[in-house]
Amino acid sequence: MTINRELHNQVMWNRLISVVEEQALTLVRTAFSTSVREAGDLSAGVFDRDGRMVAQAVTGTPGHVNTMAAAVGHFINDIGPERIYPGDVYITNDPWKGTGHLHDITVCTPVFHRDELIGFFASTAHVVDVGGRGYGPEASEVYEEGIRIPILKWVERGVLNEDLVTMVRWNVREADQVIGDIHGLAACNETGRRRLLAMLDEFDLPNLDDLAEFIFERTHTATMTALENVPPGMYTNTMTVDGYDEEVLLAVTITVTDEGMHADFAGTSPLSAHGVNVPIGYAEAYFTYGMLVALAPELPNNFASLAPFTVSAPPGVILNAEHPNPVAVRHVIGHFVTDLTMGALAGVLPHIIPAEGAGALWNFQASARQASADDPKPPIELLMFNSGGSGARPALDGITATAFPSGVRTMSAEATEQIGPIIVWRKEIRENSGGEGKYRGGMGQILEIGPTDGYQFEFSAMFDRVANPARGRHGGGDGAPGAVYLDDGTPFPTKGKKTVPADRHLIMELPGGGGFGDPEERDAEATANDRRQGYIS
């Protein structure tokens, strides 16, 4: 084929992105984990022989953006280049070599072509259970959070490592589903591997090297062009959020140079005694996501688009958790990094950066337990994903009850009630919760739930923006803070475990997003419509 080199590379780049999308889709289809399915809590990518990410599927989790990109380098290093064979499959869930907590299992598969190692496929999924205390912030060390699988061979030269399978099986709850999901990860890498080999044959390529160079060069140029929108200099921001034990101050200084953007988190509060600490790779992911979505939303994630973004933090701060700090629910604080770092640029990018939003998800796990020993019931775990409002944009209202920066979806109330003894009594827009402004913040929602069928709930809460609402921007008002209480008016703690009795309902008022611009400038018709629809009263 003698088609112009340029066009040839463009076509192959498109194809490669399609290959990783097929890889990710295969994973979604087979996953047992609710968060994979409903929250898109997975990632999939193809890497060159040096472990540099060439293409990554777009999924619902910015948190995997950089962490996943770095993971393959760790696999190459720990396995040892001389021990990488055709037919191998590697595994880890190390929070500091994978994606930030034990619940994410990363599987990596080398690809050989014409007897030569040409690259890797890697994929990550949030599995149902990893043993330990179960999913939650209560651990004081990572040892309590579950089994930690170092980088090991899950399969060597086509032979399954039965010892490792047994070891994992005996250390997790719901072992069939967890082992099923690991096989699913390996299978989706295999889908990618086969597609890639077919592509190399079709285009008669010996390896990925030339194509990777083309992709990196193109992406690098475009990334640097996009960064020119931010003048070199230092930009700072701080943001206080509720935290787990006590309020957390998040602080950032972003240094912009001709080379890229560096975020330093000095000034941030110290580590928590509980599992809300964030490995720095995870903080880096939400910083990078914020910068890319603001400056270069068209760019695909690969080694070159991520390289200009770097982070640092002093030891001992909550955004720089190290082993053996507990990190199980690192997303609660981690998700705020996007609003924190975007906020630093709000002054120089007034037409791009939105107001702050609810940020952290209001997900919860309710452990349904028998309400009375006289009426024995099997224990059932329930999970619900719910989002507050996002911040108003420079020319648009915020989005109501919709997650940002996470891509989480909610689940149908009917489907939730099908799974366990819960009744969702109310799930509605929370009126008057969007911050005022020329553009109104997205509204939160009101959720009212209760146990049924002779159960009560051991409720595990981890709700933020109750004491510290989302701040408005450029004159816009703050979003409404969140609130949690029982239907008899009893206040309910927003952190930690507490019982919802059999005859009570729990009411959650989710926070709204901040407003943007002077409320006086809001279009009269927009305000009239807000009243007509009952968004404001």
Stretch that binds another protein, among 23-31, 99-107, 148-156, 248-256 (CB under 8 A): 23-31
Q: Nearer Cβ to another protein, position 81 or 378? A: 378
Query: Would you count residue 532 as binding another protein (CB under 8 A)?
Result: yes
Query: Would you count residue 401 as binding another protein (CB under 8 A)?
Result: yes
In whole angstroms, how close is the CB of 21 to another protein at the nearest point? 6
C-alpha gyration radius of the chain: 24
Residues 87-106 that bind another protein (CB under 8 A): none
Alpha carbons 186 and 90: distance in angstroms, whole number? 9
Q: With H, G, I as helix, E, B as strand and everything else as coil, classify residue 216.
A: helix
Alpha carbons 185 and 181: distance in angstroms, whole number? 6
Alpha carbons 354 and 433: distance in angstroms, whole number? 17
- Is there a contact between 360 and 404 (Cβ–Cβ < 8 Å)? no
Residues 319-378 that bind another protein (CB under 8 A): 352, 354
Query: Would you count residue 414 as binding another protein (CB under 8 A)?
Result: yes
- Is there a contact between 199 and 211 (Cβ–Cβ < 8 Å)? no
In whole angstroms, how close is the CB of 30 to another protein at the nearest point? 5
Near another protein by CB under 8 A: residue from 171, 425, 501, 536: 425
In whole angstroms, how close is the CB of 353 to another protein at the nearest point? 8
b/e 241-271 (16+ beta carbons within 10 angstroms → b) = bbbbeeebebbbbbbbeeebbbbbbeebbeb
Residues 221-280 that bind another protein (CB under 8 A): 221-222, 225-226
Near another protein by CB under 8 A: residue from 81, 231, 297, 489: 297
Q: Nearer Cβ to another protein, position 117 or 424? A: 424
Tokens of 477: 């008002």
Q: Nearer Cβ to another protein, position 40 or 95? A: 40
Report which of 250, 255, 268, 266 is spatially closest to residue 309, judged by C-alpha positions. Answer: 255
Pairing mode, strands 309-312 and 261-264? parallel
Near another protein by CB under 8 A: residue from 141, 259, 428, 521: 428
Near another protein by CB under 8 A: residue from 118, 139, 285, 292: 292
In whole angstroms, how close is the CB of 68 to another protein at the nearest point? 15
β-partners of residue 383 are: 365
Instruction: Give me the phi and psi of 500, to 5 degrees please.
Output: -100, 110
Q: Nearer Cβ to another protein, position 38 or 94? A: 38
Residues 175-204 that bind another protein (CB under 8 A): 176-177, 180, 183-184, 187, 191, 198, 202
Residues 145-174 that bind another protein (CB under 8 A): 174
β-partners of residue 516 are: 439, 473
Q: With H, G, I as helix, E, B as strand and everything else as coil, classify residue 160.
A: strand
In whole angstroms, how close is the CB of 436 to another protein at the nearest point? 19
Can you give the length of the chain in residues? 537
Near another protein by CB under 8 A: residue from 45, 46, 54, 59: 59
In whole angstroms, how close is the CB of 404 to another protein at the nearest point? 7
Q: Give Cα separations from 139 to 34, 318, 364 (angstroms).
A: 22, 15, 17
Query: Would you count residue 386 as binding another protein (CB under 8 A)?
Result: yes
Count of residues interacting with another protein (CB under 8 A): 92
Alpha carbons 460 and 100: distance in angstroms, whole number? 21
Query: Would you count residue 424 as binding another protein (CB under 8 A)?
Result: yes
Stretch that binds another protein, among 97-105, 323-331, 396-404, 457-465 (CB under 8 A): 396-404
Q: Nearer Cβ to another protein, position 236 or 412? A: 412
Q: Using H for helix, E for strand and C for coil, what is the string for 365-399?
A: EEEEEECCCCCCCCCEEEEECCCCCCCCECCECCC
Near another protein by CB under 8 A: residue from 92, 106, 109, 219: 219
Query: Would you count residue 299 as binding another protein (CB under 8 A)?
Result: yes
| For helices 65-79 and 280-295, angle between their N-to-C axes, nearest 10 degrees | 130
Query: Would you count residue 400 as binding another protein (CB under 8 A)?
Result: yes
Q: With H, G, I as helix, E, B as strand and everything else as coil, classify residue 303.
A: helix
Alpha carbons 512 and 143: distance in angstroms, whole number? 36
Query: Would you count residue 10 as binding another protein (CB under 8 A)?
Result: yes
In whole angstroms, how close is the CB of 171 to another protein at the nearest point? 18
